[in-house]
Chain A
Amino acid sequence: MNNIIVLPLVIPIFTAVVLVFLGNHIVVQRIISIITMLAVSIISFVLLELVQREGILKIAFGDWEVPFGILFVADTFSVLMVLTASIVTMLCLFYAFSTIEKRHENMYFYSFVLLLVAGVNGAFLTGDIFNLFVCFEVMLMSSYVLVALGGEKVQLRESIKYVLINVVGSSIFLIALAYLYGTVKTLNMAHIAERVAEVGQDPMLTTVSLVLLLVFSLKAGLVLFFWLPGSYVVPPAAVQALFAALLTKVGVYALIRTFTLMFPHRPEVTHTIIGVFAGLTIILGCLGALSSRNVLRIAAYNIVIAVGFILIGLAVGTEIALAGAVFYLVHDMVAKALLFLLVGMMLYLTGEKLIDYMSGLIRNYPLFGWIYFLAMLALVGIPPLSGFVGKVLIGKGAIEAGSYILLFLGFASSLVVLFSLLKIFLSSFFGETIITNEDKKPFPAASMASLVAFSFCIAGIGIGAEKLLVYVLDAANTLVDPSVYINAVLRES
């Protein structure tokens, strides 16, 4: 029965391979990919319910005894991430149908999206740190292709930097793994956690944890986000939205996993550094978002701000704060994808990137304008939309732990988010329209469907917060008390 854990990884990979053989049948590819993502979403939901009923599930591949083989572990946190990632991907695919160019679709676009999802889901579900590396690589390899696909001048220029940075990052990840294996002689995350707790987190292990912090910060865009605004804005809108929703969040997930499960014993070193990093990320991200008049860059810097905000939750480390981090992570995956899809649609409709050349979009496309307004409110954290509960919980945790500087930075960043998004809203949506009725492009129907579905999601997460909080609190409970996870993986069979 536990075999269901592996399906969110296996189904997308299998379908991706099948789609390669359907190279010329674009419509068939579309239908199959959307059905696949729907199936994965349903399976993750079933898995979520199963985890609630039966506790943390695991599957050891090839029935190897637990610390020795490779295994997948499904706890509420990881399954929640898988579910969100799958739903976001499904909606982004809908958006892609009407906006992506034919030359992308002919170059196995859907296969690479599915491989990306497989890597992301694998990274969420794996219980073995070397497999985390492998899933990262699966995910990164398809992201390299998706950044470069299309082969425009800017895309190639930015993708080579993106690839090089990530290759070096992966090497550093392996260095950390080598020293970790040399010290604790195991790669199973629960087993590492147990051994680290047994021998105490000595300076050697703390150093290893800091190298891991460096690597995951690079992937998550925590402080080391210099590559992010360049490479996230070059691919087509649907891909940007996928990247914004999934790639950095996998880094954040890995950070939370590492510093709650494996290395929680020296919070005065590790968590302080994470706190400083989170504060710096928020400040630098805000400066970036304020300084730009390019819609794509404003959106990209908003990713950075959100990453900083989520990691306040980890730096504070109380149960409430971690629950807030998990909730905000779910919200941010949905809301950031929506923001990028909206921004991409603005580009498609007007052909302009700078807000100075757009005006009056809400007169031509009223519903589009209102969805942007809704997304803006959600990202700022206005109740009852999705951002609110996460912000409140993280704030509450920060007050409990007395981290007032982080609390101030976090809530001040909301104002900057509001300001930067309002800047787009006022100058691009309000004012005199510059698009005449003859020039007005028809709004692609499938994209509108996807945007509406996304707005229902953010409203649903906000209004149904009570339902979601059950899962989130369970996830935070496991994060605060790693022995739950360790016992579930190592003891019970």
Chain B
Amino acid sequence: MEQVMMILIGILVSVATYLILSRNMIRVIIGTAVLSHAVNLLIITVGGLKTGNVPLLGHGVEPFTDALPQALVLTAIVISFATTAFLLVLAYYTYKTNGSDDFKELRGMTDE
């Protein structure tokens, strides 16, 4: 199962890299969102996929699944949602004030 996940993560990272390297602002933002999902999957996978029961005291059922990566991913998801939402709003306003969503046109002069 881990191998399949790793291949999926690889595909997601390559898609994200492709999108982040493009010139269009929205594509870059979608790229970062995909990248954050890939990273979340990576945390879950590296921590070990579900191998046993819930880690409850006194149940006596071995083996347990490590619950920590799930807590980490939960935090990471919340943070990436917040930043993505903020980025989309920022991108909208940048588009509105600068009149372009093309990064090549957003470079700006060095001394203006």
Interface set of A (CB-CB < 8 Å, partner B): 130, 133-134, 137, 141, 144-145, 148, 151-154, 156-161, 163-164, 167-168, 170-171, 174-175, 177-179, 181-182, 187, 230, 292-294, 297, 353-354
Contacts and interface: CB of A to CB of B under 8 A. Distances in A.
B108 interface: yes
A178 B39 contact: yes
Interface residues of B, number: 37
B97 A151 contact: yes
Contacts of A292: 111
B109 to A, nearest CB: 10
B112 to A, nearest CB: 8
Contacts, number: 102
B94 A141 contact: no
Interface of B: 20, 25, 28-29, 32, 35-36, 39-40, 42-43, 46-47, 68-69, 72, 75-76, 79-80, 82-84, 86-87, 90-91, 93-94, 97-98, 103, 106, 108, 110-112
Contact of B111 (A137, A144, A152, A354): A354
Contact of A160 (B20, B46, B47, B90): B90
Nearest to B28: A164
Contacts of A353: 111
Given A174-B43, A182-B46, A160 B94 contact: yes
Contacts of A168: 20, 32, 35
Contacts of B90: 144, 148, 156, 159-160, 163
20 contacts: A133-B76, A137-B79, A151-B93, A156-B90, A156-B93, A156-B98, A159-B94, A161-B103, A163-B83, A163-B86, A164-B32, A167-B87, A178-B39, A178-B42, A178-B47, A181-B47, A181-B68, A181-B72, A292-B111, A297-B111
A145 B83 CA distance: 11
Given A137-B79, A141-B86, A159-B90, A171 B43 contact: no
B86 A160 contact: no
A315 B72 CA distance: 32
Nearest to B96: A156
Nearest to A131: B75
B76 A164 contact: no
Contact of B87 (A152, A153, A163, A187): A163
Nearest to A154: B108
A294 B111 contact: yes
Contacts of A145: 86
A297 B111 CA distance: 9
A152 B112 CA distance: 14
Given A141-B83, A174-B76, A160 B42 contact: no
A157 B86 contact: no
Contacts of B82: 141
A177 B43 contact: yes
Contacts of B112: 154
Contacts of B97: 151-153, 156
Contacts of B108: 154, 157-158, 230
A124 B103 CA distance: 35
Contacts of A133: 76
A167 B20 CA distance: 11
Contacts of B83: 137, 141, 144, 163, 167, 170
A154 B91 CA distance: 13
A157 B106 contact: yes
Contact of B42 (A130, A151, A157, A175): A175
